[in-house]
Each structure stands twice: as structure tokens, then as C-alpha cells.
Amino acid sequence: MPTLHIVRQSAFNTNDFAQCLQVLRNGDVIVFIDDGCYNLHHKLINTVDSNAKIQLNVMEKHAQARAIIINKSLYTAINMNTLVELTMTTSRVITWQ
């Protein structure tokens, strides 16, 4: 029953991503889109428990527009089709904006 978390805000600017991290559960899926892509380089990302099997995805074109480099060993770069699929294959969606 994983939750899809769509993260749209920069953690450098607002508390939204920190709140998202508080409700993360094993097997949940995160997708960073819009200004959420800045979180790839925020220290909060290091607090994600590596044993919790959280999938970390980034909307590739949103990162690219912002000249944000995606470390592909940590993040999966996805497109909008994959986000639509993830919406349907997870059990619920929370948008952090």
C-alpha cells in the first residue's frame, strides 16, 4: 500500500518536504517535481532511511530546466508518463506544495 509523494517545494524555502519526510513509510515513492527538484541537494535527503526502500524519482525535464544535476546512482530520472503510471500503481497520492 505505498503512498506516492509528489514534492513541489524547495526545502531551502519551506517546511513542506520536512513534513513529507515525517510521514514516509517503508516502500513509499517520492517524485520531485517543479521546485521540489532543488531538494536533491538539500541535506534533509540524507535523513531518508536507506533500509526503508523509498524510491526516489526526479522529473527529468524539471531538473534540467533548473540546471540541477541528477546523481543517477541515487535518483531515477523519470518523465511525465512515469508519473502518471506511478499515480495509478501506488495506493494514494499526497502532493506537498
Which residues bind to a copy of itself, rule: CB under 8 A? 12-15
Does position 22 interact with other proteins (CB under 8 A)? The reply is yes
**Cα(33)–Cα(15) distance, integer angstroms:** 16
In the list 7, 16, 17, 58, the residue contacting other proteins (rule: CB under 8 A) is 16
CA distances from 29 to 2, 3, 5, 13, 54 (A): 7, 6, 6, 22, 6
Contact 44, 17 (CB under 8 A): yes
User: Which of the stretches 46-54, 70-78, 82-90 binds other proteins when contact is defined by CB under 8 A?
Assistant: 82-90
The one of a copy of itself, other proteins, none whose footprint includes residue 29, by CB under 5 to 8 A per kind, is none
Q: Residue 91, SS3?
A: coil
Does position 93 interact with other proteins (CB under 8 A)? The reply is yes
Does position 96 interact with other proteins (CB under 8 A)? The reply is yes
